[in-house]
């Protein structure tokens, strides 16, 4: 499996990454080589093997339902570019 | 052409946990913006989510409540998309291994028939924040208090055939989650939100038509109206030679208008993958057994018991078992009054009328189940008539007294059951209405039944409603008929 220039642009857009136009071809080639490796792995017979959800052979610890985080708004908003009336301000979004 | 409607629902149910699904921030509704959004909810670098045990337990209870298989190995995945109310850039959700597998919810329709609606699955996920589009100098304001609130998204099979079934299903689901205590059921605060998938097809056709999805309906009434409108739109469109396009639509409950959401530039591509921050959640048998033992009586079982133990009609039992608070009230009132049928009538009559007029829930009723039970007791032992009882209820509602007995005593409402007193009063009424008495006696038997009403009315008026109506009727008849 390979990826072409338009595929790279689409994936970059979905991930909100900007790629210079003159870097697109080279990126396509790099990603394609990774996909080649994936193709080789795909060829392995995995019949009867449980899909791996996490590389650590451990299970999730659960947390009791108790409030441990108090209001830290002032601190957390200190790094926000714009706030008003306690709200984070962002470029206008319309659905 | 005869058309058939096909409806499938997706319902987001906010779980009633105290804290978020992956953080220890509070989920209390109505807090000042961003005071309940911690570093985890904001998706700041270096954070690590930890799963809330209670969210898992509540999702399992839902599964047990709809006879579903519970998946013992649970994997959380990242659903990637960009929107300002989702600061992480992905929603943590489930895809391949949802916690609740296939189950069913049974509904009763207006004609008394029942239908089983299959549930495809239900998965756990986190809610997003809220965007406020009021004008902040051309910008949008973001409140992330809701971000990370635990949700279960319940997905039905396309088994629903009209708006009535959809509403019956929605109400039943509301009844199930509130009975389980896993959701507060407050739809006006967004605790349950319905997405409606609607398509139409010529009756008898096997293939489904193209469907549209109307999102985020937060009342039964809006859901019904949105479905009716969309079905009509699709049929009109097809009959005029057009075709339905698959799209997401918005319905405005206030204006009753529906419109297409601006179509997205490209199809959704969420690039799901297992969340590397979260290990699989394993549900063991001891956990399942413990939760099974904690399961409350479900609405269907409760309804059957109300019919069997209290002799209620199917209709009464359906209404009184629908939500936990009403069912509890009914059982407490019945214990206090020792009369299930009268308790049912009063709860569905005077009480619910007063609750509706004042827009309050049954748990906030100034007349408690014990107070209503005490009132019903006095109707049963003939201390007061049903009509006076309404007066007593009103006084109790206003909070002037705390028991029916106190009201009856204070206001002197005790029913007159003394035969001598009633006879004397009737004699007076007959004496001052001599002409009517003559007319009555001259009338044929079949006319008399109606005419006696006049005398009963006069007697009740003379006694200010306190005479026992049964006795008045009986004594009047004796005296008039001679």
Contact check, Cβ <8 Å, B39/A61:
no
What average pLDDT does the segment B275-292 reach?
A: 95
- Share above pLDDT 70 across residues of chain B, in percent, rounded to a whole number: 99
Read out DSSP for B39-69?
HHHHT-TT----EEHHHHHHHHHHHHHTTPP
Asked whether the predicted pLDDT for residue A1 surpasses 50, the reply is yes
Q: Residue A63 in 3-state DSSP?
A: strand
DSSP string, B146-213: STT-EEEEEEE-S-B-SHHHHHHHHHHHHHHHHHHTS----GGGTSEEEEEEEEEEETT--S----EE
- CA dist., res. B320 & res. B306, Å (int): 9
A14, A59, A63 member nearest B53 (Cβ): A63
Can you give the residue range of the structural domain that contains A17? Answer: 5-42
Is residue A58 assigned to a domain?
Answer: no
- Domains plus CATH for chain B? 3-287 (no CATH), 297-411 (no CATH), 419-481 (1.10.10.410)
- B260 token code pair: 């297409």
* C-alpha of B391 from chain center: 29
Q: Which residue from A minimizes the CA distance to B282? A: A59
Could you give phi then psi for residue B400, rounded to 5 degrees?
Answer: -75, -30
* Size (chain B), residues: 482
Q: Are B261 and B247 in contact (CB under 8 A)?
A: yes
In a domain, A12, yes or no: yes
Mean pLDDT of B399-425: 83
Per-residue model confidence as pLDDT tens digits over B108-145 = 998 888 999 999 999 999 999 998 877 788 899 999 99
Q: Cβ of A74 under 8 Å from any chain B Cβ?
A: no
In this complex, do A87 and B132 lie within 8 Å of one another by their Cβ atoms?
yes
Please say if the pLDDT value at position B278 is more than 80.
yes
The residue of A6, A10, A50, A65 whose CB has the most chain B CBs within 10 angstroms, and thus the best one to mutate to test that interface, is A65
Nearest Cα residue to B11 out of B125, B142, B132, B144? B125
Query: Which of A55, A60, A74, A82 would best serve as a mutation to test chain B binding (most B beta carbons within 10 A)?
Result: A60
Residue A49 lies in a domain: no
Pairing of strands B248-252, B212-217: parallel
Pairing outcome for strands B3-14 and B51-52: unpaired
What is the spatial distance between Cα A72 and Cα B35, in angstroms, rounded to a whole number? 7
For chain A, positions 4-33, list CB contacts with chain B under 8 A. 10, 14-16
Is the pLDDT at B265 greater than 50? The verdict is: no
In this prediction, what percent of chain B has a pLDDT beyond 90? Answer: 68
Residues B441-463 have a mean pLDDT of: 84
In a domain, residue A78? The reply is no
Q: Contact A90/B140, CB-based, under 8 Å? A: yes
The Cα B182–Cα B62 span in angstroms is 8
- Whole-angstrom distance between the N-terminal and C-terminal Cα of chain B? 70
CA distance A25 to chain B (A): 23
- Residues of chain A found within 8 Å of residue B42, distances taken between Cβ atoms: 76
d(CA B385, CA B382) in angstroms, rounded, equals 7
Spatial separation of the C-alpha atoms in residues A25 and B52, rounded to whole Å:
45
Q: Is the pLDDT of residue B266 over 70?
A: no
From CA B356, how far away is CA B364, in angstroms rounded?
Answer: 12
**Angstroms from B130 CA to nearest CA on chain A:** 10
SS3 at position B363: helix
Tokens representing B3? 């058309």
pLDDT beyond 60 at B329:
yes
Closest CA of chain A from B310, distance in Å: 39
Residue B354 has pLDDT above 90, yes or no: yes
Say whether B119 sits in a helix, a strand or coil.
strand
Residue A95: predicted pLDDT:
53
Classify residue A23: in a domain, yes or no.
yes
Tell me the ipTM for this assembly. 0.89
Asked if residue A35 is part of any domain, the answer here is yes
Contact (Cβ atoms closer than 8 angstroms) between residue B107 and residue B115: yes
d(CA B223, CA B305): 31
> Is B193 in contact with B218 (CB distance < 8 Å)?
yes
**A56: in domain:** no
pLDDT in tens, B155-194: 999 999 999 999 999 999 999 999 999 999 999 899 999 9
Whole-Å CA distances, B278 to B52, B172, B417: 12, 34, 75
Kindly state whether B140 is in contact with chain A, defined as any CB-CB distance less than 8 angstroms: yes
Instruction: Return the SS3 of A61.
Output: coil
From the list B88, B207, B123, the residue with the least C-alpha distance to B158 is: B207
pLDDT tens digits along A41-86: 999 999 998 888 888 888 899 999 999 999 999 999 999 999 999 9
- The label of the residue with tokens 């069913």 reads B104
In a domain, A57, yes or no: no
Q: Is B248 on the interface with A (CB under 8 A)?
A: no
Contact A67 B269 (CB under 8 A): no
Strand partners for B142: A88, B131
Number of domains forming the structure of chain A: 1
> Which tens digits make up the pLDDT trace of B45-98?
999 999 999 999 999 999 999 999 999 999 999 999 988 899 999 999 999 889
B35 at A interface, C-beta within 8 A: yes
The residue among A64, A67, A83, A84 with the most chain B CBs within 10 A of its CB, best to mutate, is: A67
Is the confidence at residue B264, as pLDDT, over 70?
A: no
Token pair listed for B353:
């009328």
Helix, strand, coil abundance in chain B, percent, nearest 5: 45, 20, 35
């Amino acid at each position: 499996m390979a990826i072409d220039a338009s595929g790279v642009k689409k994936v970059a857009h979905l991930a909100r990454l900007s790629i210079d136009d003159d870097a697109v071809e080279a990126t396509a080639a790099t990603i394609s080589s990774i996909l080649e490796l994936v193709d080789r792995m795909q060829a392995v017979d995995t019949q009867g093997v449980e899909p791996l959800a996490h590389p650590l052979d451990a299970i999730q610890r659960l947390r009791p339902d108790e409030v441990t985080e108090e209001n830290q708004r002032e601190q957390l908003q200190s790094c926000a570019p714009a706030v008003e009336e306690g709200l984070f301000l962002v470029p206008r979004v319309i659905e | 052409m005869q058309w058939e409607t096909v409806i499938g629902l997706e319902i987001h149910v906010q779980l009633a946990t105290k804290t978020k699904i992956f953080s220890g921030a509070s989920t209390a509704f109505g807090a000042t913006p961003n005071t309940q959004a911690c570093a985890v909810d904001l998706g700041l670098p270096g954070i690590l989510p930890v799963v809330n045990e209670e969210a898992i337990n509540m999702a399992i209870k839902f599964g047990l409540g709809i006879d579903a298989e519970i998946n013992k190995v649970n994997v959380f995945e990242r659903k990637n998309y960009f929107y300002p109310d989702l600061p992480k850039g992905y929603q943590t959700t489930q895809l391949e291994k949802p916690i609740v597998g296939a189950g069913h919810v049974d509904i009763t329709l207006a004609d008394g028939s029942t239908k089983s609606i299959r549930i495809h699955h239900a998965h756990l996920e986190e809610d997003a924040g809220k965007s406020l589009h009021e004008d902040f100098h051309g910008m949008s304001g973001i409140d992330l208090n809701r971000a990370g609130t635990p949700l279960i998204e319940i997905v039905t099979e396309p088994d629903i055939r009209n708006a009535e079934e959809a509403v019956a299903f929605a109400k039943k689901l509301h009844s199930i989650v509130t009975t389980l205590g896993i959701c507060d059921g407050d739809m006006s605060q967004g605790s349950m939100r319905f997405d409606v998938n609607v398509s139409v097809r010529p009756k008898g056709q096997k293939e489904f038509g193209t469907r549209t999805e109307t999102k985020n309906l937060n009342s039964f009434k809006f859901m019904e109206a949105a479905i009716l409108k969309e079905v009509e739109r699709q049929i009109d469109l097809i009959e005029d030679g057009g075709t339905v396009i698959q799209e997401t639509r918005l319905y405005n409950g206030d204006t009753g208008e529906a419109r297409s959401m601006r179509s997205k530039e490209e199809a959704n591509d969420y690039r799901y993958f297992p969340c590397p921050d979260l290990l699989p959640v394993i549900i063991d048998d001891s956990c399942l057994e413990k939760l099974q033992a904690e399961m409350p009586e479900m609405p269907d079982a409760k309804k059957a018991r109300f019919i069997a133990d209290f002799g209620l009609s199917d209709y009464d039992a359906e209404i009184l078992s629908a939500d936990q608070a009403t069912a509890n009230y009914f059982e407490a009132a019945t214990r206090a009054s020792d009369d299930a049928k009268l308790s049912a009538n009063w709860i569905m009559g005077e009480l619910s009328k007063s609750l509706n007029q004042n827009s309050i829930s049954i748990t906030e009723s100034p007349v408690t189940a014990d107070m209503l039970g005490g009132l019903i007791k006095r109707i049963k032992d003939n201390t007061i008539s049903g009509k006076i009882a309404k007066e007593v209820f009103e006084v109790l509602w206003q909070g002037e007294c705390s028991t029916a007995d106190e009201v009856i005593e204070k206001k002197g409402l005790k029913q007159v059951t003394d035969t001598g007193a009633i006879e004397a009063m009737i004699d007076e009424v007959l004496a001052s209405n001599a002409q009517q008495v003559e007319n009555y006696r001259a009338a044929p038997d079949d006319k008399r039944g109606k005419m006696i009403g006049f005398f009963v009315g006069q007697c009740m008026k003379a006694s200010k409603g306190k005479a026992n109506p049964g006795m008045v009727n009986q004594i009047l008849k004796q005296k008039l008929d001679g």
